[in-house]
Amino acid sequence: MDTQNLLSDYNRWLTFQRQAQLEREHSAAVRELDKSRVSATRMTEAYRSMAEKAASEGACYRTLFLRNVEGQALACEGWLFVRRVLAEGGTTRVRATLLNTFTLQDGRLNPGDQPAEKVTLEIFEHLKVDQGMASMARVDRVNGGEDMQFITLLDSARGDLGQHMK
């Protein structure tokens, strides 16, 4: 077998392994949020805290989200720099900068491989009819793209990505 093809197949396999891992991690985080019944108010407080840390320390937070690709929701990974949280007219929006670090199409990305993109997220109560009218907080992107169900991890932060967030 040709060594080049073998290495290419191996790298493709590693990408699919990472995709599967992110799918499991995102699903587990959604289940935890669902089980703990986090409200939109608590979620907003968490994003406000992230914005404060971003302003004072340049903190970026690891985020997992789903991206609709040809009708399929694929888990993606990135780092989110939260610039501000705006609550107006009954909606709460988060202005942030997203630096992608993994998509199935591109595989693993190092900071700076792709430009960071400005995103606007909306925090809202998601009603779950199949669970007795329970509600939980949900965060979706509202400005272009088909990204949804953002899970931003407060315990996974770093402050060295500022140069890539411009």
This model's pTM is above 0.85? yes
- pLDDT at residue 131 in the model: 59
Residue reference for tokens 């931003």: 152
Structure tokens at 132: 């007795």
Is pLDDT at 3 greater than 80 in this prediction?
A: yes
C-beta separation of 99 from 112 below 8 A = no
Confidence of residue 88 (pLDDT cuts 50, 70, 90): confident
* Cα 3 from Cα 71, distance rounded (Å): 35
Which contiguous run of DSSP H or E holds residue 62?
Answer: strand 60-69
Rounded average pLDDT over 35-51:
92
% of the chain exceeding 90 in pLDDT: 73
Rounded average pLDDT over 143-158:
91
**What letter represents residue 24's amino acid?**
R
Is pLDDT at 141 greater than 90 in this prediction?
A: yes
